[in-house]
Structure 1
Amino acid sequence: MIELLTHQYTYLLFALLLAIGLYMMVANSNLVKMIIGLNLFQTAIFLFFISTAYVAGGSTPVIPEEAAAYDPFVSPLPQVIVLTAIVVGIALTAVALALVVRIYSEYGTLDEDVIRRVRADE
């Protein structure tokens, strides 16, 4: 347990961000807080993916000719995938916030329970 806290603290941070993000998405009825929870959840997934791709003592993936076959090299694929996921996450957040603005202009509230009651009365 001590090694986890001292050397691999990113996994602990991942679990904390994941739990907070999931709690915010499930427990809140405010739509903006749900979007913030979704962003925390996405950030936790990004952190986990990058943490698992870490190679201790690894070097760049451009392999020089004098390199030995057993030298550790870092794969650039996880970083590329996370970068793409960040762009998709930003686009998702922008669309979600645009929908929230539209919902607020239509119903005058961001509380999910109030919106459901108003929709049920229509």
Structure 2
Amino acid sequence: MEIVIALAIGVLAGSGVWLLLRPRTFQVIVGLSLISYAVNLFIFSMGRLSVDKVPVIEAGIVPDPAQMADPLPQALVLTAIVIGFAMTALYLVVLLASRGLTGTDHVDGKESDV
């Protein structure tokens, strides 16, 4: 399980960095989104990957700490997902405004020969 998560984080981060280096603004936005997904997955995996463990304890019961999941990374990732959606919407609005003003979607504003 850890190998699959590590590979997923690596592929998302690598693809995100590659897309950030592209000349078009839409590819840059997708790259930022992929990097944010990789960071979210990394934070989530830092809370110990476990199955069938309770994130919240019941009143009056003191469970063994090894049988509890850490709820903090889950809360951080949930908050980061909401903020990521808002930032992606903002990026898209800026992309559309920039394309309307300049007439191109290249980052530097110039068309390339390639």
Q: Which runs of 5 or more residues in structure 2 are unaligned?
A: none
Residue of structure 2 equivalent to 1:30 = 24
Residue of structure 1 equivalent to 2:106 = 111
Query: What is the number of equivalent residue pairs in this alignment?
Result: 110
Deviates more, 1:12-21 or 1:48-57: 48-57
Task: Looking at secondary structure, tell me which structure has more helix per residue.
Answer: 1
Residue of structure 2 equivalent to 1:120 = none
Distance 1:33 1:76 in 2: 34
Distance 1:109 1:57 in 2: 49
* 1:92 aligned residue (76, 82, 87): 87
Aligned-partner residue type, residue 92 of structure 1? M
Query: Are the aligned partners of 1:57 and 1:72 in contact in 2 as well (CA < 8 Å)?
Result: no
* 1:83 aligned residue (69, 78, 81): 78
Aligned-partner residue type, residue 14 of structure 2? A
Alpha-carbon displacement from aligned partner over 1:74-105 (angstroms, at most 9, x marks no partner): 12111111111111111111111100100111
Q: Which runs of 5 or more residues in structure 1 are unaligned?
A: 1-5, 118-122
Residue of structure 2 equivalent to 1:3 = none
Report the TM-score, using the length of structure 2 for normalisation: 0.83
Percent of pairs identical after alignment? 26
Distance 2:9 2:71 in 1: 21
Shift of 1:8: 2.7
SS of the residue 2:67 aligns to: coil
Distance 2:42 2:26 in 1: 25
Tell me which structure has the larger Cα radius of gyration. 1
Query: Are the aligned partners of 1:55 and 1:72 in contact in 2 as well (CA < 8 Å)?
Result: no
Distance 2:73 2:2 in 1: 21
Go from structure 1 to structure 2 and tell me whether the alpha carbon gap of 1:101 and 1:70 turns closer, same or farther (over 3 Å shift): closer
Query: Are the aligned partners of 2:19 and 2:28 in contact in 1 as well (CA < 8 Å)?
Result: yes
Distance 1:52 1:8 in 2: 14
Aligned-partner residue type, residue 83 of structure 1? L
